[in-house]
A and B are shown apart, each in its own frame.
Chain A
Amino acid sequence: MNAESHTLLIDTPPDTLDAVHNLLQIIWDKSPEVDIQDRIRFETALIELASNIFRHAHNGSGVSCSLTVHISNDKIEASLRDTGQPGDIEIVDVEMPDVLAESGRGLALINALVDEFTYERIDDHNVWHITKRTSQS
C-alpha cells in the first residue's frame, strides 16, 4: 500500500464528530487491508480526542481544528492542531478514574487504545498526535 494523507478542516460549531467519522469511513473504504480491531481502536481514540477538543468549543467562541490522518504500511497516525485554549493537560501516566466516576476517562482511554499519544502547545495552537501500529492481514 502507498502511504496516504487526508486532511480535514473542522470548525465547531457547526461541524460535529460526524465529520471525523465520515473521513475515517472514506479511509477505511480505500484501505480494506487494515485489520478491523486496529480500525476500531484508532477510530475510538481519534473520536475521543476530537470530543476533548470540541468540548471546549461549548465555552462560547468555538474551535477551529485541522485534522490530518496519515496511513502507511505499518501504522495509522492522526495529527490535530486546534485553536482552543491551552489546557492544563497531563497525558502521561493518566489513570482511569474510579469505576463509578461519570467523567475523566477520555485521555486514559486514548492512552490505552494507541501506541503513541503526545500533546504540545505550539504558537498559540494545541497540537495532538496519535499513532496506532497496524497488523495487516
Chain B
Amino acid sequence: MEITHRAISDGVVVITPIGKLNMVHAHHLRNEVDAILGKGHNRIVVDLTNVEFLDSSGLGALIGCLKAARQANGDLRIASPTEQVKLVLQLTNLDRVLTPYTNAETAYVTV
C-alpha cells in the first residue's frame, strides 16, 4: 500500500492511502499517523478517495489512529469515502465517530 501525506493550511495534515486498507496493510496507516503525531501535527485528515476496499482490520486501524490523535489533543477526520467504505462505516455504526467529510481540504473548515 502506498501512503502519501501533505500539509495544508492551519497545520492540518492530509494522509492519502492508495489501495486496499485490509489485514495486510492496516498497520501502514497506523505507522504513518504515529509518525505525523510524533512531529507535533495533531489535526489529521485521512483522504479515502483511493481506498478501494476497507475491512474490519482497516476500521480497527482508523479507530486506533483516531484515539492516538485525540490523546495528542487533536483529531482525525475522514474524507470522500467510496460506496464500499461508506457501507462498512454504516453497518458498524462507526459513522458516528468517523463522520465522512466530502472533501479533505475542507474537513476542518467550520461553516
Taken together as a complex, chains A and B put the C-alpha atoms of A26 and B49 apart, in Å, by 24
Interface code A84-125, partner B: CB below 8 Å = 1, 0 otherwise? 000000000000100111110110110011000000000000
User: In the assembled complex, which residues on chain A have CB atoms less than 8 Å from the CB atom of B9?
Assistant: none
Q: Interface segment, B37-45, B54-62, B72-80?
A: B54-62
Determine how close the nearest CB of chain B comes to the CB of A135; give it in whole angstroms.
16
| B3 interfacial contact with A, CB 8 Å | no
Per-residue A-contact encoding for B12-46, CB less than 8 Å = 1, 0 else:
00000000101110000000000000000000000
Chain A interface extent, by class: 20 to 34
Within 8 A of B (CB), among A5-21: 16-17, 21
| Interface residues in B, total, Cβ within 8 A | 25
**Residues A99 and B24 in contact, CB atoms below 8 Å apart:** no
CB nearest to B95 among chain A residues? A99
* Of A41, A51, A108, the contact of B22 (CB 8 Å cutoff): A51
How long is the Cα–Cα vector from A70 to B94 in the complex, in angstroms?
31
Secondary structure of the A contact surface, majority rule: helix
Question: In the bound complex, what is the Cα–Cα distance between A109 and B56 (angstroms)?
Answer: 8
Q: How far is the CB of A113 from chain B (nearest CB, A)?
A: 7
Say whether chain B's binding surface is mostly helix, strand, loop, or mixed. Answer: helix
On chain A, the residues within 8 Å of B97 by CB distance are 99-100
Contact with A along B60-75 (1 / 0, CB 8 A): 1101101100000000
Which A residues lie within 8 Å of B91 (CB)? 109, 112-113
Contact call A102/B63, Cβ cutoff below 8 A: yes
Tell me whether A102 and B60 are in contact (CB under 8 A): yes
Q: Is B110 an interface residue (CB 8 A)?
A: no
A40 and B92 contact, Cβ closer than 8 Å, known pairs A16-B24, A55-B23, A100-B67: no
- Interface, chain A (partner B; CB < 8 A): 16-17, 21, 36-37, 40-41, 43-44, 47-48, 51, 54-55, 96, 99-103, 105-106, 108-109, 112-113
Q: Which residues of B contact A (CB under 8 A)?
A: 20, 22-24, 53, 55-57, 59-61, 63-64, 66-67, 83-84, 87-88, 91-94, 96-97
